[in-house]
Chains A and B, each alone.
Chain A
Amino acid sequence: MEARDATAATGAPGGKLDPSRPLVAARPRYGEYLIKGLLAACAVISVATTTVIIISLLTPTIGFFEEVSFSEFFSTDTWAPLTADPSFGVFRVVVGTLSTTLWGLLFAIPVGLLSAIYLSEYARPGVRRIVKPILEILAGVPTVAFGVFAVTFLSPEIQDLFPSFVKTPPFAAGIAGLAIGLLIVPIVASISDDAMRAVPGGLREGAYALGATKLKVATRVVFPAAISGIVASIVLAGSRAVGETMVVLLAAGKTPNLTFDPGASVQTMTAFIGTTATGDVATGTTAYDTIFAVGSLLFVMTFVLNMFAIRLVRRFREVYE
Chain B
Amino acid sequence: MARDRDPMSERTRLATAGARAAVLKNLSRQPGRDVWTGRIFLIVLLIAIGIALLGLAALIIQSAIKGQPAFSMDLFTEGPSRVNPESAGFRPAIIGSLYLIGGVILLIVPLGVGAAIYLEEYANRERWWNRLIELNIQNLAAVPSIIYGILGLAFFVRGPFDLGFVVAAGSLTLALLVLPTVILAAREAIRAVPPSIREGSLALGATQWQTIRRQVLPASIPGIATGVILAVSRALGEAAPLLLVGAATFVTADQPNPFEGGYSAMPVQIFNYALDPQEEFRTLAAAGVVVMLVVLLAMNSFAIWLRNRYEQQW
Contact = CB atoms under 8 A, between A and B. Distances in A.
B300 A115 contact: no
A226 interface: no
Q: What does DSSP make chain A's interface, helix, strand, loop or mixed?
A: helix
B275 interface: yes
A283 interface: yes
Interface residues of B, number: 92
B45 A117 contact: yes
Nearest to A114: B48
A273 B243 CA distance: 10
A148 B293 CA distance: 13
B289 interface: yes
B140 A144 contact: no
Contacts of A44: 133
Contacts of B46: 118
B96 interface: no
B258 to A, nearest CB: 21
Interface stretch (A34-42, A79-87, A158-166): A34-42
Interface string B142-165: 111111111101110011000000
Given A39-B115, A53-B147, A146 B59 contact: yes
A239 B142 contact: yes
Contact of B62 (A114, A134, A152): A152
Interface string A16-52: 0000000000000101100110111111111101101
Contact of B143 (A114, A118, A219, A306): A306
Contacts of B308: 133
A169 B243 CA distance: 24
Contacts of B111: 42, 45
B240 interface: yes
Interface string A251-287: 0000000000000000000100110011000010000
B160 to A, nearest CB: 9
A250 interface: yes
B12 to A, nearest CB: 28
Given A117-B45, A246-B240, A140 B233 contact: yes
B132 A47 contact: yes
A240 B142 CA distance: 7
Nearest to B205: A25
A38 B304 contact: no
A298 B144 CA distance: 8
A245 B51 CA distance: 24
Contacts, number: 268
B208 interface: yes
Contact of A151 (B49, B63, B274): B274
A260 B151 CA distance: 31
A46 B137 contact: yes
B48 A110 contact: yes
A132 to B, nearest CB: 10
17 contacts: A32-B209, A42-B114, A46-B140, A53-B147, A118-B48, A134-B53, A141-B293, A144-B271, A148-B285, A148-B286, A152-B66, A185-B52, A186-B52, A274-B240, A277-B243, A298-B147, A306-B138
Interface of B: 30, 34, 37-38, 41-42, 44-49, 51-53, 55-56, 58-59, 62-63, 66, 110-115, 117-119, 122-123, 132-133, 135-140, 142-151, 153-155, 158-159, 176, 179-180, 183, 202, 207-209, 230, 233-234, 236-240, 243-244, 267, 270-271, 274-275, 282, 285-286, 289, 292-293, 296-297, 299-301, 304, 308
Interface of A: 2, 29, 31-32, 35-36, 38-47, 49-50, 52-53, 55-57, 59-60, 110-115, 117-119, 122, 131, 133-138, 140-149, 151-153, 182, 185-186, 189, 213-215, 218-219, 236, 239-240, 242-246, 249-250, 270, 273-274, 277-278, 283, 291-292, 295, 298-299, 302-303, 305-307, 309-310
Given A145-B63, A146-B59, A215-B41, 12 more contacts: A38-B114, A45-B115, A45-B179, A49-B151, A144-B239, A148-B286, A182-B55, A215-B38, A243-B146, A274-B244, A278-B244, A310-B135
